[in-house]
Structure 1
Amino acid sequence: MVFFILIIFWACVLSLILYKVKSGEIAKWVKLFRILTVVFSVSFFAYWFIKKSAVAFVDNSVGLQVVNKLPQTLDFYLINVNKVDKNSALEPKHIGKIRPEYYRVEYLKMDKSDEYWIAGYLGKKNLVYFSQHSVPNKNIDQIVEVQNYINQSMKLSDAAKKQVDAYNYENTKLGIWITLDFLLLFLNLVLLLRKNK
């Protein structure tokens, strides 16, 4: 994903630089490159947004329903604990903000895992809920009702907090690169359409 975003960024930058080439034998190849860059970029982002918007059904997964019974809206993260050899790899995922008396459904791929954690934030940095859950039977869906502000393990919640912070940092970086790509793509599209007129 990041690889393609960087390729699009540099291709769009090169397309903007090559905009000045308007005559000569190379002008046809430059125009073709610019058109292909715009078409590939639009296609890639269209595919990516459709994929992100689709419901994330996973084969052989466990359904998880997180219900917020607290009087405040909390921002929930799911941390899947994968067993890799003898070590554990933590995979965070943002469930989203859940209002009081509402729920969200996620699908967990549990082929390398039998445990997950749920972290609830009030604001950006204030961890007010943490729970650890095991999955003894992977054929039964899970329901977690968040009814009070608890932290079941300070040690595990600290590890979860670090993973969530790293996850949010990576998403922020990705968001900046995507914004730059959109800006450059828009400029390239405008210049292409203006030239065609």
Structure 2
Amino acid sequence: MGMIRRKLGPPGASWGVLIYLAALPGLAIGAGGISGSVHTRGVKNPTDVIVYVEKVEGQFQPPKATVPIDQIKRTYVPHVLAVLAGSEVEFRNSDNDLHNIHARQGGRKIFNFGIPFQHAVRKVLKQKGIVTLLCDVHPEMSAFVVVTQNPFFTKPDEKGNYTIANIPPGTYTLKTWHENLKPETKEVKVSEGGNVRADFELRR
């Protein structure tokens, strides 16, 4: 697994809260969508929930642009990220501290490296699943990357509303993920040019 290191310039305002939503493939003829709401019991902010279609037939090319996740004031930003398998993630350190990225997936370490302050390292996440990010220097730091098979995923807004667009017609399994809440699954049928609603109520 290759690694690219580079030194960062001064962090700008755009390096605040970075939320990555996958770039969808070109608009399919007759594509439909899924929308709804996510209610999180016991968790105030629903924006750390990932809503995703489990499997869609076909091959999907990851975006050409790197997907950033930063370390700011000893906090991973964003705390939860979703990417398409094969995406290149740029791990940044905007602090004046030494950090490291200790990544685990499926109970095993997939990489562990240090990042000097004001530097960045790029890695490709190839396997779908949940990647847990830690910092061995600062144990209070953690984050999660949900690596998916297809680009049909999203994060709800602060009110819990979400939309996934441009989905080919078909019957799919729609899932949720949150680090502290039980996942939910719904079967949905996306019709040509239509929109189906799927609401979730997540509990611990």
Q: TM-score, normalised by structure 2?
A: 0.34
Larger Rg: 1
Higher relative contact order (CA 8 A, sep 6+): 2
Greater strand percent: which structure? 2
